[in-house]
Amino acid sequence: MPLNSIRIVLVSPLYGGNVGSVCRAMANMGIRDLALVDPQVSDWREAEVMACHAGDILANRKTHPTLAEAVADCVAVVGTTARQGLYRRHAKTAREWAPDLLALAGRGPVALVFGREDRGLLNEEVLICTHLVQIPTDNAYSSLNLAQAVLILCYELFLARGSYEPLTEKSTLAPAEMRAQLERMWRQLLLDIGFMEQEKADHMMAGILRVFSRGALTEDDVNIFLGIARQADWARRFQQR
């Protein structure tokens, strides 16, 4: 059941009512795993009221200090964005991604990540994401309420499940933690070899991770690119001129 592997991750939500409404929307679409990153909620009563008959999802929520920890075991990390900046250019719509995300969810936990009500996701949080999803809206008012955004994604996955067929690929998908290691090692190497300057590093790493994340990276894939970084570092240090 791939929907059991879908995790809704709310980054620093501000309002209890929104968190409760998210729980109800999740329950409506058969998704039950809720994680909060550093929540700023003061009124949890409001969350319980709005959760309505989905209080169990609220009660069973996990809380983490950082996004990296909330998604450490996830084979795909799906960021939601309304903005269209540099880091967000390869976003697809919820409907376009849904079949891919369900297929991934058959192979490990998949996180759907939603930003703060007022500011969305920060660029450093977007860098953790393997997929970016956009919800089509009218240009005149593109900012969806948090629970509404969660509903649309859950709804698309719920409907896409109708035609879900499990993938046959054997190898294990790389968890977020392993991909983070890949990002760190490559960033360091590319700085060390003088490929990029420190102030351009985020930008360049976004371009590189974008390529790595076009498909699901397996552990084998990641190991290859970790090995390349190690060997290139060795070569620059010790190889004969």
Judged by CB under 8 A, the chain residues 85 through 114 that form the site for its own copies are 89-93, 95-96
Q: Kindly state the tokens that stand for 171.
A: 């190898």
Nearest Cα residue to 222 out of 188, 170, 172, 159: 172
Q: Is 59 in the site for its own copies (CB under 8 A)?
A: no
**Whats the size of the chain, residue-wise?**
241
Q: Is 140 in the site for its own copies (CB under 8 A)?
A: yes
- Shortest approach of its own copies to residue 206 CB, angstroms? 10
Query: Which SS3 state, helix, strand or coil, does residue 222 take?
Result: helix
Tell me whether residue 71 is exposed, middle or buried, using C-beta atoms within 10 angstroms of its C-beta: 0 to 12, 13 to 18, 19 or more: buried
Among 14, 30, 99, 127, binds its own copies (CB under 8 A): 30
CA distances from 48 to 17, 28, 99, 206 (A): 8, 16, 32, 38
Residues 201-230 that bind its own copies (CB under 8 A): 204, 207-208, 210-212, 214-215, 217, 220-221, 224-225, 227-228
The CA-to-CA distance between both ends of the chain, in Å, stands at: 56
Residues 112-131 that bind its own copies (CB under 8 A): none
Question: Closer CB to its own copies, residue 11 or residue 22?
Answer: 22
Among 72, 106, 127, 137, binds its own copies (CB under 8 A): 137
Stretch that binds its own copies, among 4-12, 66-74, 122-130, 161-169 (CB under 8 A): 161-169
